[in-house]
Structures are given as structure tokens and as C-alpha cells.
Amino acid sequence: MSTPQFPPVDEQMSLLKRGAVDLIEEDQLRSKLQRSLDQGKPLTVKVGFDPSSPDLHLGHTVLLRKMRHFQQLGHRVVFLVGDFTAMIGDPTGKKVTRPQLEREEVLANAQTYQEQVFKVLDREATVVDFNSRWLSPLGSEGLIRLAGRYTLARLMEREDFRTRFANGQPIHIHELLYPLVQGYDSVALAADVELGGHDQIFNLLVGRSLMREDGLEPQICLTVPLLVGLDGTEKMSKSLGNAIALDDPPREAYGKTLSIPDRLMWDWYLLLTDLPESEIEARRAAVAEGSLHPKKVKQELARRIVTDYHGAEAAREAEAEFERVFASGGAPDDLPEFTIDRDTPLFRLLVSAELAPSNKESRRLIEQGAVSVDGEPLRGSDAISSILPSREEPYLLKVGKRRFARILIA
RNA sequence: GGAGGUGUGGCCGAGUGGUCAAUGGCAGCAGACUGUAAAUCUGCCGGGUUCGCCCUACGGUGGUUCAAAUCCAUCCGCCUCCA
């Protein structure tokens, strides 16, 4: 095994600090890096993942990219699947009746997770581990001993617990155990650094304390911000519908990126690309003084994001199509095609072609002037039951801005 | 173990016998406008319809009533307090 070549400490620090929220403690990270450089030994970087929701979006990649930074510098990144913690994690208790199945489910999720994660991470350089490896053998005795090493008062420092307690909302015991168990993972791995989202800072710090108590050198805690989603206010999350999923088709990812508020794109540049910060600043300044159009900058961002997950070719196509559809009112290339019986009234036709979910909605859309045939808008209550004459070539139907289909009248 | 509260459309939340497909907000959809799928304004926002109406829906079930989201019984879920 060859000795890894690490870049100079200052260079490492500047990459690692990019976009970080918390870095506890900066000096300690510096000396760890120095030592690793001197001894030619990589740092162990721990990142925990709860495999309960396998659909990754750009928000998750902020953390993944930071992991990637460590990998680029030659460090050892442990992708820790919280398979044990996920199994005790459900507070409603509805799922506890079938622990066997649930374990399978967790493992299946972890698998899906990994497939997506390696779009960002270097597969070769990633160590995948499972925390059940040490948490299962711990047993109830070990768990109680672990619980004896922390106090309620310290756990209640966590804002989440504090406010829930103050508001009379329930806090289940296992939730209190969570930070401890997560902290124990750090002890088990003897982590040099733990990364997480900013919301994880409390748990990361518990790991730091437990390590110190165990006589280990405490881990560095480095957090990254939660990415703000498409709406420009809430954090990106699938349930809020403001997310770009990693497996969103290129044109979706492209269009969604262009729809973010302008002010948000600087953060996205910082957190979702590796464009040097000086260049980001240069663009920002150029936009501010009016010499660069914000759309241009945002298009570049969208292109970069799509390129990362779908390749340069897909990004070019997505951009061309976006221009065609939205800037010039054209239609995309590959459209779903339907063959419809002749004499079908328009409102039924829309439903058959999956352009409207129900007859009622279909009527509404037509009345509101949302429907056009071959580029000609159809409007009004007369149009609802109108019938398209049959002909050789298919009709191009458009509903709203984004729904298209080709219709062939049988 | 005891006392009380609560369960309404995708979400939050009004409504306490008919005028309720159910006020309002959010989300969503559409139109106008725009560099944008942003912002703003306007409209729509359970389903079917021969446009008369009809069907489904207010935790589940059963009942009272000409009529129930609203009353009664029972069951289920969630929450709080006391022990």
C-alpha cells in the first residue's frame, strides 16, 4: 500500500471550510491534518445515515459533497448506515410487531441509498459500515452503562427536547437514547471527524464528549447548512415538494433550478458546485452592477447540476428543450402519444391522454383556456365537447405550460 | 387505575340538527405578466352528469330524526393532568 500524498494543511483547510456552518474546533482540525500529513495516515471521517428514506435529493448532496472533499484530500470516509438506530427509531411503535421484516426493509433501503450516494462519492474510497455491528452486541447491559454516562440536564440542552418539554409534548425515552447511541458510534469508530447537517450539531457534540470520557481524542464536528429548496424559504425536502431529486429527469432538474429565486443561487453555487469562491463572487458582483444577466448565471448553475448527475450531453439537451418550450412556446421532443377513438369529446380526450385527472378537472381546464391544439388556444364552454376531425398526422395538445401529448384520432 | 380533552377535505383549521361539498389559510392547478416553472394580480380547486340533478365525504360501526360533520351508544386512534 503506497503512502497517500496529502496536500498542504492550508490548502486542505480552505476546501474543508467551504460552506461549513460549525467547525469545532478549527485549531484541532488543523493539528489533526498536520499529524496525518506528517505520518502519512488518513483521518477517519464518520458520517451517519438513517436509511429510512431512500430518495435522495440535492439537499443531501451538500453533505455528500463535503464527504467527497475529504476523499479528494485522501482521507478515509466511513459511510455509516444507522441500521440499528433505524430499527429502534419509530416512536409510534406501530411497526415493532415485526422486527424481522423491518430489518430487511432497512437493509433494502440502505442498498438503494448506496446506489444513489455513489453518484457523488468515490465508491472505491468509501468504507460502508453498519452500526448494528457494535450496537447489537452492546446488549441492554451495555446500553444502561452507556446511559449512565450522560445526564438528563445535558440532554435537555437540545433545543428540540427543551421546547417539546416546555410545551407539554411527549418525549419518548428512546429519543433521549438516540444522541447517546449515535455518540457511541464515534467511540466505536474512533472517528477523527464527524460530519453532519447543521441540525445534527447536538448529536455530534455528544459524540465528542463520550469520546473524551473514553480517553479518546475527541472528534472534530463539522456541519454543513441545510439547503434551501425551490421555494426560497423552507429547507429542501421531498414532503414539502420543493426538492430536486437525484433521479429527476434532466429537464425537470434543469427547469426546477431555473425557477429558484435569484438570491438563492449564490448559496447553491457554494454548496452544490466546486466553482471557486472567488469566481462565485465575481459573478455576483457582475450581476449586481448589471453587466451580467442573472438568467445566464442561473443557466450555468442548472447546467452544472444536471451535468453532475446526468452528464454534459443531457444538460445541453435539457437546456435546449427548456428554451424551446418556455422561451419560444414550442414543444418538447419526445412526447407521449395516444390513439383516441373518433368522435371523442375534447374533455374526455384530455382524460384519456392523461392530460387531466378527471372529467371535471378537464372541463375546468378547457373553460380556463389552458388547452391548445396545434398551438391554437381553445377556450370557452363551447370547446368542452368539441370534436377533433380525424386526419393522418397526430394533433399536438398542450395543457397549461408543461403538459403535452400527441393525439392520433383513430 | 382515575379525570379530562381531541379526531373535519393533501396539510392547518372553522363549523354543534336543515340554508354544508362544508368559512378561512397553506399547498396545488390555470390565465395574465416575466429572463424563469420566481414575484405579483385574477380565476379554479371531491367525483359523475343528458347541466335537472345524482353519488361519495367530516376516525369506525350501529342508532335517533322527515333531515346528522353536528344528537345518542359503542369501538378505535391521539393528547394532557392526577396516581
Q: Which nucleotide shows the minimum CA-to-C1' distance to residue A261?
A: B38
A333 HSE (CA, 13 A, CB side): 8
Query: Which domains can be identified in chain A, with CATH numbers?
Result: 9-224 (3.40.50.620), 248-327 (1.10.240), 337-409 (3.10.290.10)
Asked whether residue A403's C-beta has any atom of DNA/RNA strand B within 7 A, the reply is: yes
What pLDDT band is residue A106 in, cutting at 50, 70 and 90?
confident
Question: Strand B: which residues 297-326 of A lie within 7 A (CB)?
Answer: 298, 322, 326
- pLDDT, tens digit, for every residue of A356-398? 999 999 999 998 889 999 888 887 778 888 888 988 889 999 9
- pLDDT, tens digit, for every residue of A167-194? 666 677 777 888 888 899 999 999 999 9
Residue A304 CA distance to nucleotide B79 C1' (Å): 48
Residue A144 CA distance to nucleotide B83 C1' (Å): 27
Asked whether residue A337's C-beta has any atom of DNA/RNA strand B within 7 A, the reply is: no
The answer to whether the CB of A16 falls within 8 A of the CB of A22 is: no
Instruction: Please state the φ and ψ torsions of residue A44, each to the nearest 5 degrees.
Output: -95, 120
Question: Strand B: which residues 166-225 of A lie within 7 A (CB)?
Answer: 168-170
* Spatial separation of the C-alpha atoms in residues A70 and A191, rounded to whole Å: 13
Asked whether residue A290's C-beta has any atom of DNA/RNA strand B within 7 A, the reply is: no
pTM for the structure as a whole: 0.78
**Beta strand spans in A70-197 (E):** 76-81, 126-130, 193-197
Tell how strand A371-373 and strand A376-378 pair up.
antiparallel
Q: Which nucleotide shows the minimum CA-to-C1' distance to residue A360?
A: B47
pLDDT (0 to 100) of residue A141: 86
Residue A317 CA distance to nucleotide B57 C1' (Å): 46
What are the residue ranges of helices labelled H in A148-276? Answer: 152-155, 159-166, 173-189, 201-213, 250-258, 265-272
pLDDT (0 to 100) of residue A91: 38
Asked whether residue A161's C-beta has any atom of DNA/RNA strand B within 7 A, the reply is: no
Predicted ipTM?
0.83
Asked whether residue A370's C-beta has any atom of DNA/RNA strand B within 7 A, the reply is: yes
The answer to whether the CB of A79 falls within 8 A of the CB of A128 is: yes
Lowest-pLDDT range of A87-101, A162-176, A249-263, A311-325: A87-101
Asked whether residue A389's C-beta has any atom of DNA/RNA strand B within 7 A, the reply is: no
Q: Using the predicted structure, report yes or no on whether residue A297 has a pLDDT greater than 60.
A: yes
Residue A192 identity:
D
Lowest-pLDDT range of A10-14, A51-55, A67-71: A51-55
User: Residue A107: enclosing H or E segment and its boundaries?
Assistant: helix A99-117
* Spatial separation of the C-alpha atoms in residues A256 and A217, rounded to whole Å: 44
